[in-house]
Structure 1
């Protein structure tokens, strides 16, 4: 599977960009998965349900399955997962878009909006190949307008699928 990162600070539009390029990637026949990193604790389970009770009782993992989807709930217990381990848990696909994990050494597109007033990531990250932004950066790097979704999709395909498989 090929891996391509979408990096940027909170509020920059990473999720929105992914949401907008996914239909175009699918229309080109690509099976795409997404790994999203969050700094916030979350739980998709509900207190009192059987799966929640199993986790609370000490299960290392619980796999929920229905006729429509599955969810693997893994307790990390103070040991954050490595991106490589997460990639190994995904079913086969053509491309994995990785949102977050901005410090990982994977090819990336930086998403940057002027309104966030955050610094650029690309000057300190050689893995950032271009920026998707509503403003021109002061330092030289290839820039694609953040709303040029077709061009962004082409860029992701050209730079993710032409690289060696992970």
Structure 2
């Protein structure tokens, strides 16, 4: 599977960019999955549901299945967070996996950058960042795209991964 990342600091526009890229790239006929890293405790389940009660009772994994979707919830219960490689191995094959976050991993990335967020660019010190998608012009040694030019960013990523 081909993988490409979107990284950046908080409030840089990562999620919006990934969302637009998924729409753009799937609209071109490619299959896309995403992996999103969260730095905080996250729970996709709701207290009181049967699946929540299964996990609360001590289940290591709960697979919730319906005619519309399947969700697998795995409780780490003190175990180490799985590596990106291990997470990718769990996905069904697709043309492209877009990864949001995981800025320290080795896959190629586009950095989302918003000047108003007040953070420094990551790109100058991270050789896995191949381009920057910015809301302001930048003078750096990387291709720079308008953060809202989803088509151009998609073209760049698809070219990078050979699609």
Correspondence for 2:10 = 10
Correspondence for 2:152 = 151
Structure 2 spans left out of the alignment, 5+ residues: none
Correspondence for 2:111 = 110
SS at match of 2:19: helix
SS at match of 1:131: strand
Q: What is the CA–CA distance in structure 1 between the aligned matches of 2:102 and 2:149, rounded to whole Å?
A: 24
Query: CA offset at residue 60 of structure 1?
Result: 1.0
Query: CA offset at residue 136 of structure 1?
Result: 2.8
Query: CA offset at residue 117 of structure 1?
Result: 0.7
Alpha-carbon contact 1:32-1:95 (below 8 Å) kept: yes
SS at match of 1:123: helix
Q: Normalised by the size of structure 2, how large is the TM-score?
A: 0.94
* Cα RMSD, aligned residues only: 1.2
SS at match of 1:77: coil
SS at match of 2:138: coil
Correspondence for 2:140 = 139
Q: What is the CA–CA distance in structure 2 between the aligned matches of 1:23 and 1:89, rounded to whole Å?
A: 23
Query: CA offset at residue 83 of structure 1?
Result: 0.6
**2:60 pairs with 1:60:** yes
Structure 1 spans left out of the alignment, 5+ residues: none
SS at match of 1:55: helix
Q: Normalised by the size of structure 1, how large is the TM-score?
A: 0.93
Correspondence for 2:124 = 123
The count of residues paired between Structure 1 and Structure 2 equals 162
Q: What is the CA–CA distance in structure 2 between the aligned matches of 1:146 and 1:16, rounded to whole Å?
A: 10
Alpha-carbon contact 1:32-1:93 (below 8 Å) kept: yes
Q: What is the CA–CA distance in structure 1 between the aligned matches of 2:125 and 2:22, rounded to whole Å?
A: 28
- Larger deviation, residues 99-108 vs 152-161: 152-161
Correspondence for 1:160 = 161
Query: CA offset at residue 138 of structure 1?
Result: 4.0
Q: What is the CA–CA distance in structure 2 between the aligned matches of 1:141 and 1:52, rounded to whole Å?
A: 46
